[in-house]
Structure 1
């Protein structure tokens, strides 16, 4: 799932973060007024922490907020109970979560690559900045909720280019139903296979070997939920992109759903992945409390949708305070057709950075995301892209070398080569210190 409490109980309004040293020389980090111990897992940086509490998805002048509201409106209008919306919305949950919330509760294996330090921003070995909004799924199920949307910022270490940023925004959702709801018109049908006892769900392991369903479910329940899921999500896509949009479903694997699919649409002459979805693993429901229902879940990224809908060419623009950008989305009807018009096009500056690795590292063991984070911390938002240009092993000395191209561009003014060179020198110094490399 993209990659699948109290509404206002997450953030402390005046966010501050700082590093400090507690008694006995134990390093700590303070986030939103709470202090966390640091350890060898800690890799969250001050630059990344500076993005917390920005809440772009709630700012009315931001394209992410427009798309968020369109999605919420669709679910509010499509699902009602006695005149009230069936779905509840949670859009201000704290982004600091536990390993249990982000991985264990979702059945993500301990050796799964998504847990790696190279992929996540860890506060310490038991806490991280959430990598997906699905991290809140189990706590909301435990609170007794059955239909809900989770919306917020998520954090992943990644490459640097026009479509990738270490912070982005997701909408995840769960819709669960009991037998009397799912089979309202067919009371003789059952959600669970006769061999499975929902009151004792852990009596024997649940198999997902059948591509059509989990072994605990009847085929009728699985197929009806699949039909509902696909109809509801196709309705959402048509509400966003128009009723004539072409689409296709692609079989996929996610640890927390089975069966699972991705929905792709044909947009701008190419197939574009829109969301991931599936039938929630029954173990997750049973662990969280509900043992008499079946549920579907989905997750999608707001940036991808906003960039497609409004023709926004660079993901960094979502964070821009420039009035020329902001004014294009201010006081707009959420359903308005908006095409972003560049205020100005500023030139790129490209500098290469080559260095020899120390004997303890090779071109295969060096973690590129560590380098990307350092470049972003030093260069800030003028870093447009970082890409590997060359890998080299000296034939005689056997020393390993890497060369990166760093592309600089300011979104609101022209950068001079002189100021870019100064930033580039600072990056060289930081790289030398952080990784014990030798600049070539």
Structure 2
């Protein structure tokens, strides 16, 4: 069970958000996650609300739509890749979401100044530890263990806006497939994985470059192009398995720090182009640092929520977390490939309240971090918060004070909210904003 405590007393949501431990100057503030304690510091921004989602494992819940999509994807890889009748892909579905910054960033060649490292994007436990922002965080540790083909499935955590398609916790499948020369070129033994200037036994004396858009400098063009062809064929087969053989698709060139070349796959679905995954050829530095110096690999990652919402016409991402039988029963005991269209149990009305405040002198409309405010709103309002939108920015022409206005949309998924109870929650959000950010409510 996840717990948050200061040795002998609990910490409030706002104290945890601000890392304000002044009430206990001689105590060491710690967070206990899955029976392990972590010392907090100035980077700590994970909140009790976010920690309450740990260990829910929606991707493993039998009647959850995320589990249906997960099983369909796993089955595709089991059936598509076999050796002597056995699946060649191994599956890891219970990896701990608590990772180090080395796992989440350094092992994946993500630069120190990359925006994905910032406190506004990630949920940090402390400077060296965070809730994983992507399943790729486990890639190097699995490669080091000697694995060559594997799927990593689990929940990931990112600070984000609040609306019907964004939630701070979602679920990903990441995969790696690596091949040696004799596997990739079994019909062309004279071809090579690496350029003559690159020695796979001494990879660190070679500076790998990604200046060529077609390949990494260590790889031959033949190896890269054959891996690209395999990768794209396999992923087109996957989306056809999910969305039908006639689904239109297109490839878009992309950039990821851990692959080169890289692409995104989009499908034409419901009269719109929908991005479904990112992929590419794994940077050789990652493979060399993890141990396998004689292979080339591809990798991809996709979000289960995006696929499930499109397949089953689910309008609100919060429904994935619902325990309501009216939602779950629609996916109960269904065949994996059955066509399911979600039918709303009932439609409850929205309540919309605005909040406007003057920022303190040390903040401006450009330096205030909206994700901090979103986390506060979510912590106070919980799952009745449907959306938070920045409505207006204002600088007073005379006083030069900066003001922000947000619209908060409240809606309960299982009953009608009364305006009076919404107003009470809204007042608590105002109080919390004053305390957390030193703002003045307008």
TM-score band, normalised by the shorter chain?
over 0.9
Instruction: Report deviation, 1:204.
Output: 2.3
Aligned to 2:65: 63
Shift of 1:302: 0.2
C-alpha separation between the residues in 1 aligned to 2:2 and 2:434? 29
2:105 is aligned with 1:119? no
* Residue-by-residue CA offset, 1:129-155 (whole Å, 9 max, x unaligned): 000000000000000000000000000
1:347-367 deviations in Å (ceiling 9; x for gaps): 000000001111111111100
Measured in 1, the distance between the counterparts of 2:44 and 2:393 equals 28
Consecutive unaligned residues of structure 1, counting only runs of 5 or more, are: 1-14
Alignment of 1:401-416 (within 5 A): 401-416=403-418
User: What's the CA shift for 1:26?
Assistant: 1.5
2:7 alignment partner, SS class: strand
Structure 2 distance, partners of 1:323, 1:179, is: 52
Q: Is the 8 A contact 2:387 2:408 kept in 1?
A: yes
Deviation, structure 1 residue 344: 0.1
1:31-430 equivalences in 2 (<5 Å): 31-430=33-432
Matched, 1:25 2:3: no
- Residues 20 and 30, structure 1, Cα contact 8 Å, conserved in 2: no
Measure the CA separation in 2 of the matches of 1:158 and 1:21: 31
Residue pair 2:6, 2:27 contacting (<8 A) in 1 also: no
Task: Measure, in 2, the Cα distance between the counterparts of 1:145 and 1:211.
Answer: 28
Matches of 1:438 and 1:231, distance apart in 2: 57
Structure 1 residue 329 displacement after superposition: 0.5
Measure how far apart 1:16 and its partner are. 2.3
Give the match's secondary structure for 2:390: strand
- The CA distance in 1 between the partners of 2:222 and 2:338, in whole Å, is 41
Aligned CA RMSD, in angstroms, stands at 0.8
SS in 1 for 2:224: helix
- State the alpha-carbon separation in 2 of the partners of residues 102 and 286 from structure 1: 17
Partner Cα distance (2:281, 2:313) in 1: 33
Kept in 1: contact 2:2–2:54 (CA 8 A): no
Q: Is the 8 A contact 2:355 2:406 kept in 1?
A: yes
Quote how far apart the aligned CAs of 1:24 are.
Answer: 4.2
Note the C-alpha offset of 1:339.
Answer: 0.1
Shift in Å, 1:202: 1.0
In 2, Cα distance between the equivalents of 1:168 and 1:198? Answer: 37
CA distance in 2, matches of 1:423, 1:122: 27
Shift of 1:82: 1.1
Query: Partners in 1 of 2:111 and 2:3 — Cα distance?
Result: 31
TM-score, normalising length: structure 1? 0.96
- Give the unaligned 5+ runs of structure 2: 9-24
My pick for the range that moved more, 394-403 or 310-319, is 394-403
CA distance in 2, matches of 1:291, 1:209: 21
